[in-house]
Amino acid sequence: MERINYASGSKWEDIVGYSRAVKVGNVIEVTGTVASGDDGNVVGENDAYAQTKYIFQKIETVLARAGATMKDVVRVRMFVTDIARWQEYGRAHSEFFKIIKPCNTMVEVKALIEPEYLIEIEATAIIIG
């Protein structure tokens, strides 16, 4: 099987040594993604819903590059800095997955790579047929 790495240009990709997504066969793993705009600045500062929605849009973009859609997502992992804001994160998640209903985990963490980020999301997609 062929392995294809997809970069996004994030400043951390070369520093840490990772790809935005990796596709092997029909499986695509999307790395932890934060609400970092093209300019490197946080998108939706202190807005859990806006950050979550922006992240899912970034994930949707890399999945499209890999030949997949959000309908192919089977697992989502959400790492949040304040679990009390679960409804804000959940509202954005539902906008993308209300019908699809992938497996989902939301875990509160002490901190993310920059203090302005409220959430980081990973996803797994499997292209079938």
Q: What pLDDT is recorded for position 39? A: 85
pTM of the predicted structure, to 2 decimals = 0.95
Which residue, chain included where needed, has tokens 């950050």?
51
Q: How many CB atoms sit inside 10 A of residue 19's CB?
A: 18
- The tally of domains found in the chain comes to 1
Beta-sheet strand order (sheet of 73-80): 3-6, 21-24, 27-33, 119-126, 73-80, 103-108
State which residues form the domain around 105. Answer: 3-126
* Number of helical H runs and strand E runs in the chain: 3, 6
CATH of the domain at 95: 3.30.1330.40
pLDDT tens sequence across 100-115 = 999 999 999 999 999 9
Whether the per-residue pLDDT at 126 is higher than 90: the answer is yes
pLDDT (tens digit per residue) in 6-47: 998 877 788 888 999 999 999 999 999 999 998 889 999 999
